[in-house]
Structure 1
Amino acid sequence: MSVIAVAPFVLRDVVMTIGTDDYAKHLSTVKFAPAYDTVKWQGLTPDASFTDLSNPTWTCAISYAQDWETEDSLAQYLLENAGQQKVAVFKPKGAATGKPVFTATLTIVPGDIGGDVNTVQTSTVTLGVVGAPVKSVSA
């Protein structure tokens, strides 16, 4: 049996473009996640059972600082483009050559406006992913 090496990383100095703009400075979280449904069928005898999984449905959760003053801020972009599909490129290890790149088409939803007193106003939204993220390597 082979012993497989591991190379965990800390998420910092990323690139996250939505459409043509890099919103990495606006974001504190980017997380693509699959969800599966369990499919079950039970026949009329105990040994006549079937269990399987559906194809995954992907989402992309992002947390960001609300900015309603800067033209083209992420908060304003999400509000202005709600319901549209936009291509996103996530480079979790930055723009360096040979590092992983994840590309996905996201369905845009707007986030919260406002929040608690005496805090930086943030929002978290879950964007739908059309299909699944595609992994490549930066050139």
Structure 2
Amino acid sequence: MAQIPLAARPQKDIRVKVGADNYEKHVSDINWPSNQTAQSWHGGTPDAIAPDLSEGDQVCNLTFIQAWDDEDSFCRFAFDHAGETVTISYKPHADSDVEFTAEVTLIRPQIGGKVNQFNESTISMPSTVPTLVPVP
């Protein structure tokens, strides 16, 4: 068997595009948790197994800074366009060879938080299953 080298690296310079606008300076976390659940039925003999994979609803979780005084901030965009469907593109690294895209429905973000802190908001938006797209 071949030894496959590991090329993992921490995220430090992501790209997040919503529609035509780049918001990576506003976003601290983006993820699509798996929407699949494995299950199996076992009968009375060792070979009586029926495996299955169930698909649930897909969501996209996005955490971002609350910058309400900035008309162009992502929190204002999400607040003003709640209920609308937009395309989100995500590159795990600025120089990445891949990008993930999905259609998401924006929801209104949390407003406010603790005093003397940068307040963030996390929204969990209905999403299509992301598509992995090679970047030329």
- TM norm structure 1: 0.84
Unaligned runs of 5+ in 1: none
CA distance in 2, matches of 1:59, 1:73: 22
Whole-Å separation in 1 of the counterparts to 2:89 and 2:26? 15
User: Shift of the alpha carbon at 1:58?
Assistant: 2.6
Alignment of 1:58-77 (within 5 A): 58-77=58-77
The 3-state SS of whatever aligns with 1:76 is: helix
Counterpart mapping for 1:115-130 below 5 A: 115-130=113-128
> Structure 1 residue 122: deviation in Å?
0.8
Shift of 1:41: 6.3
* 1:39–1:84 Cα change, 3 Å: farther
- From 93, 109, 112, the equivalent of 1:111 is 109
- The separation in 1 between residues aligned to 2:134 and 2:56, in whole angstroms, is 23
Q: Distance in 1 between matches of 2:57 and 2:34?
A: 5
Q: CA shift at 1:87, angstroms?
A: 0.5
The aligned counterpart of 1:23 is 23
TM norm structure 2 = 0.85
Alignment of 1:1-139 (within 5 A): 1-38=1-38, 46=44, 50-55=50-55, 57-94=57-94, 96=95, 99-130=97-128, 132-139=129-136
Residues 31, 62 of structure 1: 8 Å contact kept = yes
Distance in 2 (CA, whole Å) between partners of 1:62 and 1:26 is 10
Task: Name the CA distance, whole Å, in 2 between partners of 1:136 and 1:129.
Answer: 17
Instruction: Name the % identity.
Output: 28
